[in-house]
Structures are given as structure tokens and as C-alpha cells.
Amino acid sequence: MPKCSFCQQIVQNVMQRLALHRVAHDQRLFNANRKPECARYAKHTGRNTTYEPMAFI
């Protein structure tokens, strides 16, 4: 974590947005219509295409 509070805030914002995006993406993944880009995403993140509860939040 960066030392100055301004940088900390930016890092936290980015992490939060990333987490929200992941949840949204996994929610879409969960919906039965598995699109090719979702499969690519899962491969990229090293997860399989089946829905997994979000452990990183």
C-alpha cells in the first residue's frame, strides 16, 4: 500500500471498482448463456467457467 493517503485512496477506488466489475462479470457468467468472451475471461483469470462464490471480496 502506498504511504501517502491520496495514493491510498486511488488504490482503494481502483480495487473497489475492479471487485465490482468482477462480481458483475461472474454474475453474467452465472447466467446460463455462456458467451465466448466469458470463456476467454475465465481462462485469462485461471478460473473455470462454472460460477464460484467470490472469495476475494
Cβ 42 vs Cβ 48: under 8 Å: yes
For the chain, the domains span 5-45
Residue 38 burial (C-beta neighbours within 10 Å; 0-12, 13-18, 19+): middle
pLDDT of residue 38: 55
CA-based nearest residue to 30, from 18, 21, 38: 38
Residue range 7-54, pLDDT digits in tens: 888 888 888 888 877 777 676 666 545 555 555 555 555 555 454 544
pTM value is: 0.38
| H or E segment and range at residue 6 | helix 5-30
